Structure 1
Amino acid sequence: MSPRRWHVTRTVLTAANGTTGAGLLLALATRTKIRRGRDGVLIAEGWKLPMPPASCFTVGSVIITRRSAEWLLAEERAALLAHESRHAGQYAVLGPLFWPAYWVACGWSYVATGSFGVRNYFERRAGLRDGGYPEDLPLRPWVERVFRRR
């Protein structure tokens, strides 16, 4: 599928499965300003709540950032924008099931390494380096022992 066609498909799927609507409601409820991004994503700028601690996160096809849309759209952050856009693609495929699946993946990653992202399937598929995560961390010793026993 061509990139343009995928962007349109992703936008339609995240609208149809309700995740973009959830992202827009969250943005509106927290009084962030919504702007158009690239390739069918929307950017909600000015997130002020302390959670999550990341500079941005995605809900459906809405990328929510603490910073401005211009900050996220700057060329030096093209990799971060691509990372968050890949999450929008994950929402297109999983719809609302993304949330529990993502949190299970976060839990596993944290238990295994102490990082929510390093062993998280969704973060790995979105590009750890692009998202600002370390690319690898050792397993915690007790997890290593469990895997060695098998």
Structure 2
Amino acid sequence: MDRWQTVKLVLNFVNLSTPAGFLVGVLGRARFSRGPRGLYYATGYRLGFPIANAFTVGNVVLTKNDRAYLDARPTLVKHEERHSWQYFWLLGLPMLPLYVVAVVWSWLLTGCPASRNPFERLASLKDGNYVEHPIQPFGQTLQQTFSRRPR
């Protein structure tokens, strides 16, 4: 771990984002382990929200999968690490409501919560396994959202 990663690790504890990540992991009955570059892994996360293969709160990367899943995906871990830096720069928990606003903004423009979300774009859509969707008319977004999906 380099000096800046250590600074991020400490500040994300002080700004309460990493403790919040541990709390979310405990609520989701995850197993904790140390990850690279000051990250912690919370694997086996059991809550159904959010719907993502991995998500980050502070320096805690949470996933429903096992540790081998993250170890086999260093690009995804780098994406999640970039989110941990976003918590650092936004002084912790203010990231959460700002992220929700960004999800809504992206969904309104594209029908996708990530495509125009500045947090996901700065963390690299590709590295997070997101497909970029074009801006579309709002009516199309509503139609996609509320249309019946085949069973």
Class of the TM-score when normalised by the shorter of the 2 chains:
0.7 to 0.9
Matched residue type, 2:42: A
Indicate which of 64, 70, 73 corresponds to 2:71: 73
Q: 1:73 Cα shift?
A: 1.4
Which residue of 2 is the match for residue 30 of structure 1? 28
**TM-score, normalisation: structure 1:** 0.87
AA at the equivalent of 2:58: G
Q: Quote the RMSD (CA, aligned, Å).
A: 1.4
Number of residue pairs aligned between Structure 1 and Structure 2: 138
Higher helix share: 1
Moved more, 27-36 or 84-93: 27-36
1:115-134 paired onto structure 2 within 5 Å: 115-134=112-131
Please give the TM-score of this superposition, normalised by the length of structure 2: 0.87
User: Where do 1:38-117 residues align within 5 Å?
Assistant: 38-74=36-72, 77-94=73-90, 95-117=92-114
Any unmatched runs of 5+ in structure 2?
A: 140-151
Asked if structure 1 preserves the Cα contact closer than 8 Å seen for 2:108 and 2:138, the reply is: no
Find the partner of 1:16 among 14, 17, 30. 14
Superposition pairs of residues 138-149 of structure 1, within 5 angstroms: 138-142=134-138
Give structure 1 stretches of 5+ with no counterpart: 144-150
8 A Cα contact 1:58 1:87, kept in partner: yes
